[in-house]
Amino acid sequence: MFTLAVVAIYRLGSFIPAPFVNYGNVQQCLNSGSSSTNGIYELVNLFSGGALLQLSIFALGIMPYITASIITQLLRVVIPRFETLYKEGQAGQAKLTQYTRYLTIGLGLLQSTTLISVARSGGLFGNDCPNILSNQQWWAISLMVITMTAGTGVIMWLAEMVTDRGIGNGMSLLIFASVAAGFPASLGQIAAERNIETLLAVIAIGVVIVLLVILVEQSQRRIPVQYAKRMVGKRTYGGQATYLPIKVNQAGVVPVIFASSLLYLPGLISQFAKPADGKLPEPWVLWIDANLTQGDQPLYMVMYFLMIIAFTYFYVSITFNPEEVSENMKSYGGFIPGIRAGRPTTEYLEYVLSRITLPGAIYLGLVALIPLVALTLLNANQNFPFGGTSILIIVGVGLETVKQISAQMQQRNYEGLLK
């Protein structure tokens, strides 16, 4: 009940407009379909449950925290101090969490300033949309920036409260609520713009995609691990056999976010390079507009797919350290049958990881291309919910939440959620 109450508060805040935002004009722009979100703005709007286009107090959603968490994780490779804190256990990780919070507020200030600047220039809804800000003086803009940044801080606090007092995974659950909130509207719009047959086809395709995504998300390579027997006093410890699970999709949804964000940059650069006096843009600007700003372009799809594969290998190499795993196994007397402890174990884990990452990377690339293919075949990119980042989040968080609930029920009743 506590978790549901927090989700309700989060969804309510997504519809409360920020100060000096003309709510009527915003709704008129949304209803006219003049929104021009793409790239990173489309991603932020997805993670905020549509709050970005509402210009609400929760417009930025959970995106600043996600970005801050990823940056903190990447800095562990660059800054030795961060890696030391990570290895110090609970106290060190609490310090890293504090750094992540500070970085979240900084990114919130930056992203809210950018969002309001784009809204003022007409880049959010298009130049033909009525003015959506009722006051554009510096103090009013400052108040809007502070309000949206504070909204990000409140979301971060609510998520941590769900983690502590709810069923766990607070951040993931709020993202889940944001993404799932857009499903009914997307399906309804497909039915209104196309026909019932298309809607039924989309739902049937969605069910198949969900089943396939669940199959891959649950797939793992189990490497057998044997622990040697140890005598401590008169007692014998160890000697049991277990396994080391390596998931097929070890990177999660992060490579898709990286690729989407990076592919948005050429379009952003070309937008700033267009002359304001109505003259014809430079040839390279026209080439970018023709090939790298629309999802139905073949070059865009190929680059998107290849970048997801590259970022998958990059992120897995950061988050899974075979040498560290090998050292931990060696210190506890564990070994892989047929593989010597130490350097041979590290090389074997690197061998397995490099080969299991390839099907995981191809899987992520294919799932991410589903909305772009739907744009070509059904003309329903924005309204196609069963693909890309949406379906990965829905299935991933759904599976993890079921595990959390089942674990809590087993603690109390010795029975899980699903028998």
What are the structural domains, with CATH classification, of the chain?
1-180 (1.10.3370.10), 208-419 (1.10.3370.10)
What does the pLDDT average to over 317-336? 85
Q: Tell me the percentage of the chain whose pLDDT exceeds 70.
A: 82
What is the per-residue pLDDT for 79? 85
What is the per-residue pLDDT for 376? 65
What is the per-residue pLDDT for 103? 92
Nearest by Cα to 251 from 304, 199, 320, 330: 320
Q: What is the pLDDT of residues 366-396, one digit of tens each?
A: 888 887 776 666 665 555 666 677 888 888 8
Q: What is the pLDDT of residues 127-156, one digit of tens each?
A: 556 577 777 788 888 999 999 999 999 999
Nearest by Cα to 124 from 31, 48, 57, 26: 26
Query: Which residues make beta-bridge pairs with 262?
Result: none
Q: pLDDT-based confidence at 361, cuts 50/70/90?
A: very high
Q: What is the pLDDT of residues 269-280, one digit of tens each?
A: 776 666 666 677
What is the per-residue pLDDT for 336? 86
Q: Under a CB-based contact definition with an 8 Å cutoff, are residues 8 and 133 in contact?
A: no
Q: What is the pLDDT of residues 205-237, one digit of tens each?
A: 888 888 988 999 889 899 988 887 766 666 666
What is the per-residue pLDDT for 124? 67
- Does position 353 have pLDDT exceeding 60, yes or no? yes
What does the pLDDT average to over 104-115? 88
What is the per-residue pLDDT for 226? 85
What is the per-residue pLDDT for 265? 75
What is the per-residue pLDDT for 237? 62
Q: What single-letter amino acid sits at 244?
A: L
What is the per-residue pLDDT for 41? 62
What does the pLDDT average to over 183-212? 81
- Does position 39 have pLDDT exceeding 60, yes or no? no
- 417 — alpha (psi -120 to 50), left (phi > 0) or beta? alpha
What does the pLDDT average to over 317-344? 85
pTM, two decimal places: 0.76
Residue position matching structure tokens 């397995």: 352
What is the per-residue pLDDT for 44? 67
Length of the chain: 419
Q: What is the pLDDT of residues 50-69, one digit of tens each?
A: 677 778 888 888 888 888 88
The span from the CA of 326 to the CA of 321, in Å, is 9
What does the pLDDT average to over 109-115? 86
The span from the CA of 9 to the CA of 3, in Å, is 10
What does the pLDDT average to over 169-179? 84
What is the per-residue pLDDT for 146? 93
Nearest by Cα to 331 from 230, 249, 262: 230
The span from the CA of 205 to the CA of 198, in Å, is 10
What does the pLDDT average to over 21-45? 65
Long-range contacts from 243-246, C-beta under 8 angstroms, 24+ separation? 244/325, 244/329, 244/336, 245/220, 245/221, 246/220, 246/221, 246/222, 246/320, 246/352, 246/353, 246/356
Q: What is the pLDDT of residues 279-308, one digit of tens each?
A: 777 787 778 777 776 666 788 888 889 999
Q: pLDDT-based confidence at 105, cuts 50/70/90?
A: very high
- Does position 253 have pLDDT exceeding 90, yes or no? no
Q: Under a CB-based contact definition with an 8 Å cutoff, are residues 325 and 244 in contact?
A: yes
